[in-house]
Chain A
């Protein structure tokens, strides 16, 4: 068993076009590192530095089993085999 990660169109350049890839990790942070080991470059599109640490990019949404991870621990949100992860860039903009 693994964790299925749904990849948005704009990030499929890192997955050879695949709409979904499998990964492993006990937390979202660990999962992202695992993805990075096979899909180099993807991590930088998901997280950004915040001081010494990293955080999820403001305009990237990640969901674990349909829950926005911002409400369940962010990068420290826990994961288990069989979980479904969806990555979706925000649809946002404006005249400002």
Chain B
């Protein structure tokens, strides 16, 4: 189960809409071992593609060094699909390399087909564990804010 606050969900969806039709990607970091997605970091999709995403290698290192310095880890790794459902593709599964992370996928397809912009068509927001090539969908619980520690 992924427990995540509404503001972070909204920010991920806004990022996906902004980058549509390219895939958007990023991380939500949290204290090591806490399973709390606290700090959203939007990343540039270095592939700049509607069907592929990849963090720039230099920015990837900077991101991880920052997390190590803060005793953080990637709690959520997110990206968007822009013409297909929010389900991990074969590529997503093959490249998933954070066994401890929640892999969040959002799909901007329905929103875009409804005309994009400010329309209220829903954006699918789903979460998975991807471990050793095996995908397990999990419940997403959106809370007004994360419980205080």
Contact = CB atoms under 8 A, between A and B. Distances in A.
Contacts of A9: 73, 98-100
Contacts of B23: 94-95
A61 B97 CA distance: 12
A68 B46 CA distance: 15
Contacts of B27: 91
Interface in A71-96: 86, 88-96
Interface string B96-138: 1111100000000000000000000000000000000000000
A10 interface: yes
Chain A interface: which size bin? 10 to 19
A92 B47 CA distance: 9
B57 A93 contact: no
A32 B38 CA distance: 36
Contacts, number: 83
B82 A95 contact: yes
Nearest to B99: A10
B48 to A, nearest CB: 11
B19 interface: no
A88 B96 CA distance: 12
B98 A96 contact: no
A90 B60 contact: yes
B130 to A, nearest CB: 9
A9 B50 CA distance: 29
Interface in B37-83: 43, 47, 49-55, 57-58, 60-61, 64, 73, 77, 79, 81-83
19 contacts: A9-B73, A9-B99, A61-B61, A68-B57, A68-B58, A86-B61, A91-B25, A91-B54, A91-B55, A91-B60, A92-B53, A92-B55, A93-B52, A93-B89, A94-B52, A94-B92, A95-B51, A95-B81, A95-B84
Interface of B: 23, 25, 27, 43, 47, 49-55, 57-58, 60-61, 64, 73, 77, 79, 81-84, 88-89, 91-92, 95-100
Given A89-B95, A96-B51, 4 more contacts: A59-B97, A93-B91, A93-B92, A96-B49
